[in-house]
Chains A and B, each alone.
Chain A
Amino acid sequence: MNAKGLARSVKDDLARHWRHLAAGGTGIAVSVAALVFFLSLGLGIRDTLLGEVFRTERFDVLREGADLNLLAIKLELGKDTLSDTDVTGLESLDGVAAVYPKMRLLVPAVASGGESILGAGMQTELVADGVDPALLADEIGEPFHDPQLDPALAGRPCGEGIPCADGAVCVGASALGPGECREVIPVVVSNHVVELYNGGFRRAYRLPKINPNALTGLGAEVAFGASSLRRTADRVHRHRAELVGTSDAAIPLGITMPLGFVRRLNAELGPPGASDGFHSAVIELEPGADGAAVMEAVEALGLTVRDDGARRAAFLSAAALAGVGLVGATVLAISAVHVMHVFALLVMIRRREIGVMRAVGASRAHIRTLILAESAVVGLVAGVAGLAVAGGLTAAADAALTARLPDFPFKPESFFSFEPRLAAVALGLAAAACVLGALAPALRAASADPATVIAGD
């Protein structure tokens, strides 16, 4: 059958039987709409789970040291840190794009400030760690860098009329005496910290709610080596810390600083060996790398992968998607049966017409092709209609969910992921369901003997 003839015949037949075909296609459209709606919801939630809550393209690696429980105290046996050699070993694994070591600040610290945004000064003990600035290069970029000041300039006295060199600020100057020139430390906090603050903390202390997008530039004075809880060493480094952004890669509770700075502080003010080991490292996988295989290789090095539920989340989201897909496929299959009934009816109605076509030169293959092409067009049109309905529903549901649901940790900007690939698959499934539904009627129509059909008219 030539393409032009097929197109003309399909167009004629669709125009004549559109009511029947619309009835058959409606089920397919509804099925596609439901399938796309729930799959895009599932994909959206999966993206949030795996991309934000449990990141699988990056995962943490640490060394678990053996502990001995002595009543309420755990006695540490063996080291629980990663060495530079461990980091090099991790970098050499197949599928690993980069390794970003993290180091805890092993020096007590007290931060004070916040008047500009909170209306009152606050002082708090500080938990901090250091990460490789490259880890936050995409999120924060250049502002998060190691602010290594020339050692000759660092610690110089400063104050009224005694400025510091470029890149340094005067810290601790007062009427009682001069301050010290110190570098400004870029700091990143976790989104979780902001959510915790805006959730209960600010209410307990009657503080204003803060806008996380406006926090950049917020500064505080930090005294490293000092503590309000216990006596500390005599040496205290005072610095100015400025918030340069928020990131989920930051320590969940505390501040995150550039690794080099933390390492120098640990070396200078911390206990012996404080700057030798990393408490963990973030492994970034190459695109398309087998995460499970890399995890196995990491474990073979005697290290531990901090799962954080990522594997379970991945499995659960995959299972949920498969479940939604199965339900959608079942509904599509039921719709395909409906399509089969519609086409069986149409073939019966068009029995004489098909006989005439055969008499003037249509082969069985022509008849099969004609009916299956009609069903494919019905499927595609129904699929497009279903996609349009699904698009409207997802937009409406997304707007409602985003507006009505209160803020919560990892609340996504959109609950749905309406991917072009999903739309293409849905269209293909719609056409396939219609073609499959019409297959039996098409075969029956094609097998009819034209002489018998015409004689029976």
Chain B
Amino acid sequence: MDDICVICGDSDELRVRCGSVVQTSARPGGYNPRVIRIEGLTKRYPESERDVLKGIDLEVGAGDFVSLVGRSGCGKTTMLNVLGGLDEGWKGVVEVAGQRLDTLADRDLARFRRRTVGFVFQAYHLLEHLSCSENVALASRFGGGGDGRSRAREVLDLVGLAAAADRRPTRLSGGERQRVALARALFNQPQLLLLDEPTGNLDTATGGEIIELLVELHADLGLTMLAATHDDAIEAAGGRRIRMVGGTLSEDGAQV
């Protein structure tokens, strides 16, 4: 089976990973290393009287591993949902991998979710009636051609669950389910991986394994990651920590 190559990188270099081989090269001129650009992002839920996001500005470069921390209800998940194209009814400018989300029609937004971002939820959100490989390849049903089985097995192998490809998620442990969810997020080689409390439903040891996997993937694939978390270990693993308080952001105590 031919390896599928993943291209990623940061402001200084590009990394190409084909199977287990990673090649690094200097970036060509004119490349925009910025994966996330947010300006004046404001969001208020219809039934609420206050803004959950209050004029947020943020930039995240390619290959960054950013942890987004803050108390429950401060708006972390809402911000991830906006970045993942899952949420509507917000104001401001949100640009991910060069795509202005406020200008995308529903069909384009769906393609954006399918191709540009990968989302890992705290509660896994795997479909129990499908096998692990079918869950991983779910996006292929909505476009892209092919049944995606070989690619699904490849990413399951990447997260160490190749043997579970034909099993149903209900027969897996919490950690294994989160690995399948991670494989699903990686299926279409996203430019941005959004993780919403990826270890929130796991015990410390299992959560630690997931974090190790994330760190490894970040190192190998050079993925841009934004993880909303309460987990100190993820905070420690991330190269950049952003704190969210009452719908606003601060980095190392300062407004970004």
A interface residues with partner B (beta carbon < 8 Å)? 1-2, 4-6, 8-9, 12, 16, 352-353, 355-366, 449-451, 454-455, 457
Contact of B123 among A4, A364, A450, A457 (CB under 8 A): A457
Pick the interface stretch among B111-119, B207-215, B221-229, B235-243.
Answer: B111-119
Q: How far is the CA of A8 from the CA of B147 in the complex (A)?
A: 10
Given contacts A360-B138, A360-B139, A361-B143, 10 further A-B contacts (CB under 8 A): A2-B142, A2-B144, A8-B147, A352-B125, A358-B86, A358-B110, A361-B111, A361-B114, A362-B110, A365-B107
**Is B86 a contact of A450 with CB atoms below 8 Å?**
yes
Q: A12-B129, A356-B125 are in contact. Are A362 and B84 (CB under 8 A)?
A: no
Contact of B86 among A1, A363, A451 (CB under 8 A): A451
Q: How far is the CA of A382 from the CA of B140 in the complex (A)?
A: 30
Contact of B107 among A12, A363, A449 (CB under 8 A): A363
For chain B, the bracket of interface size reads 20 to 34
**Is B106 a contact of A363 with CB atoms below 8 Å?**
yes
- B46 CB, nearest partner CB in chain A, Å: 10
**Is A364 a contact of B141 with CB atoms below 8 Å?**
no
Chain A binding site: helix, strand, loop or mixed by DSSP?
Answer: helix
In this complex, what residue of A is CB-closest to B115?
A: A361
Contact of A1 among B78, B130, B142, B147 (CB under 8 A): B142
- A173 CB, nearest partner CB in chain B, Å: 93
Interface membership of B99, Cβ < 8 A: no
Q: How far is the CA of A1 from the CA of B142 in the complex (A)?
A: 4
Q: How far is the CA of A100 from the CA of B84 in the complex (A)?
A: 81
Contacts of A365 in B (CB 8 A): 106-107
Interface membership of B191, Cβ < 8 A: no
Q: A352-B125, A450-B86, A457-B123 are in contact. Are A5 and B113 (CB under 8 A)?
A: no
Contacts of B106 in A (CB 8 A): 363-365
Count contacts between A and B, CB distance < 8 Å: 87
Contact of B141 among A6, A353, A454 (CB under 8 A): A6
- B78 CB, nearest partner CB in chain A, Å: 8
- B109 CB, nearest partner CB in chain A, Å: 7
Q: How far is the CA of A9 from the CA of B77 in the complex (A)?
A: 29
In this complex, what residue of B is CB-closest to A356?
A: B125
Contacts of B121 in A (CB 8 A): 359, 454
In this complex, what residue of B is CB-closest to A355?
A: B125
- A447 CB, nearest partner CB in chain B, Å: 10
Within 8 A of A (CB), among B159-180: none
The proximity string for B residues 85-115 relative to A, scoring 1 for CB distances below 8 Å and 0 otherwise, is 0111000000000000000001101110111
- B152 CB, nearest partner CB in chain A, Å: 12
- A455 CB, nearest partner CB in chain B, Å: 7
In this complex, what residue of A is CB-closest to B185?
A: A360
**Is A5 a contact of B127 with CB atoms below 8 Å?**
no
- A141 CB, nearest partner CB in chain B, Å: 63
Q: How far is the CA of A265 from the CA of B140 in the complex (A)?
A: 88
Contact of A366 among B110, B129, B130, B144 (CB under 8 A): B110
Q: A361-B111, A362-B110, A365-B106 are in contact. Are A457 and B125 (CB under 8 A)?
A: yes
Interface membership of B81, Cβ < 8 A: yes
**Is A361 a contact of B139 with CB atoms below 8 Å?**
yes
- B62 CB, nearest partner CB in chain A, Å: 22
Q: How far is the CA of A413 from the CA of B64 in the complex (A)?
A: 83
Contact of A449 among B77, B87, B143 (CB under 8 A): B87
**Is B142 a contact of A356 with CB atoms below 8 Å?**
no
Q: How far is the CA of A16 from the CA of B128 in the complex (A)?
A: 11
**Is B147 a contact of A4 with CB atoms below 8 Å?**
yes
Q: How far is the CA of A362 from the CA of B85 in the complex (A)?
A: 12
Interface membership of B145, Cβ < 8 A: yes
**Is B141 a contact of A5 with CB atoms below 8 Å?**
yes
Contacts of B110 in A (CB 8 A): 358, 361-364, 366
Interface centre among A8, A9, A16, A360 (most CB of B within 10 A): A360
In this complex, what residue of A is CB-closest to B88?
A: A449
Interface membership of B184, Cβ < 8 A: yes
Contacts of B129 in A (CB 8 A): 12, 16
- B81 CB, nearest partner CB in chain A, Å: 4
Contacts of A353 in B (CB 8 A): 127
Contacts of A450 in B (CB 8 A): 86
**Is A1 a contact of B113 with CB atoms below 8 Å?**
no
Q: List 23 A-B contacts (CB under 8 A).
A: A1-B141, A1-B142, A1-B143, A2-B141, A2-B143, A5-B142, A5-B143, A6-B141, A12-B129, A352-B125, A353-B127, A355-B125, A359-B84, A359-B125, A361-B110, A361-B111, A361-B113, A363-B110, A365-B106, A451-B78, A454-B121, A455-B77, A455-B81
